[in-house]
Amino acid sequence: MDSQTSVATPARTPLSEDHAQRGARMVDFAGWWMPVQYSGLIEEHQQVRRSGGFFDVSHMGEIRVLGANSLKTLQHLTTNDVGKLQAGEAQYSLLPNDQGGLVDDIIVYCLKPNEDYLVCVNASNAEKDWQWMVKHNQGAELVNECEKWAQIAIQGPKVLPLCDRIFGFKVSEMKSFTHQSAKFHGHDVIVATTGYTGEIGCEVFIEAKGALELWQTLVAEGAKLDMGPIGLGARDTLRTEMKYSLYGHEIDDVSNPYEAGLGWVIKPAAKDFVGKGPMVAGKEKGLARKLIGFEMVDKGIPRQGYKLFAGEAGEKEVGFVTSGTHSPSLNRPIGIGYVKTEVAGDDREIFVDIRGKKVKARICKTPFVHRT
């Protein structure tokens, strides 16, 4: 998910009209006309944590990588080891640039090893990612499938029995980061046990022409189970509570992903890839900053770009906020930010400059909330 907006007329997903009919507040998000909330951000957030909810994520992009050189191409383009993927498996990965920063963060789905992969990319990065992959292609057949697919995320502690019933197979028995192809009322679907909330559930790719029928079925059946449609506002607070990176906030084209705690998806010993040299050199030199989570001690909501300070009186500037919100689960303000490595320890007191006033906060362990 991406926070950038567009000055052009925003694109519509297959569900945009349905959102408006349900009374959603619509906004231009990453160049798409999307629902930011329905009943209200706090209630929607708590509904996902309590039972479940449904997200229109059809603004996300899809790129197919096919042919005998598909694996070679993805190994060159991404940081994770795509060679480990078997059919029906997925992995979180990064699309690096030449300088070791990031073009995007992605998920790679293996449909057939060495032959057929689907790459899910962030909404406002879709065209940039496509051009980057075409430029650095190693002989694969690349197909832009953004128009083919819609996506619906189904997230929450009680959603799996509903998924089993709707899709006609045991989604509840699938392991995390796996996927299965199926049909919904004659439409191709790929049900993947991935998500962006920290809750169990799945993300469903469905042919765009079948998206509205699936969405309306989920909302109708979910209403009987304390589940409903969820806007992008709650999607953001849910991911912030998990300290999941958002492109344009925690990661971007100049950030070293090791600083963001993403070393677990970087496999320099397994292969070469774009930007490997500068990325690894940055780590070996010693990371100057680290991405941390913090809770506010005093009143105030941290926002992206606010400066962070340390010292007894907050006299030393040490970093900046990348994301911040009031946590509906904890009922207190939380934030994510970069600080100098030497002040990144848990329980360390820091200060957030909120409109000229230095407000006390405390670095804490993350994620901020844990799935029950």
Domain that holds residue 269: 1-276
CATH number of the domain within which 309 lies: 2.40.30.110
Distance CA 242, CA 368 (A): 6
Asked if the structure places residue 36 within a domain, the reply is yes
**Shared-domain flag, residues 200 and 254:** yes
CATH number of the domain within which 5 lies: 3.30.1360.120
Asked if the structure places residue 283 within a domain, the reply is no
**Shared-domain flag, residues 325 and 269:** no
Distance CA 68, CA 74 (A): 12
Q: Are strands 227-229 and 52-56 parallel, antiparallel or unpaired?
A: parallel
pLDDT band, residue 268 (cuts 50/70/90): very high
Question: Nearest-5° angle of CA 213, CA 21, CA 246?
Answer: 75
**Shared-domain flag, residues 299 and 202:** no
Helix axes 232-241, 41-50, angle to 10 degrees: 60
**Shared-domain flag, residues 225 and 320:** no
pLDDT at residue 372 above 90?
no
Helix or strand or coil: residue 214?
helix
**Shared-domain flag, residues 98 and 166:** yes
Which amino acid, residue 5? T
**Shared-domain flag, residues 255 and 304:** no
What pLDDT does 4 receive?
Answer: 44
What is the four-CA torsion angle of 339, 340, 343, 348, rounded to 10 degrees?
Answer: 0
Question: 109-164 pLDDT, tens per residue?
Answer: 999 999 999 999 999 899 999 999 999 999 999 999 999 999 999 999 999 999 99
The model's pTM is: 0.96
Q: Which of 77, 60, 105 is nearest to 251 (CA)?
A: 105
Question: 222-265 pLDDT, tens per residue?
Answer: 999 999 999 999 999 999 999 999 999 999 999 999 999 999 99
Domain C-terminal end among 276, 298, 324? 276
**Shared-domain flag, residues 245 and 294:** no
Q: In the 8-state DSSP scheme, what is residue 196?
A: S
Question: 193-213 pLDDT, tens per residue?
Answer: 999 999 999 999 999 999 999
**Shared-domain flag, residues 343 and 225:** no
Name every residue whose Cβ is closer than 8 Å to that of residue 101 and which is 6 or more positions away in sequence: 252, 253, 254, 255, 256, 275
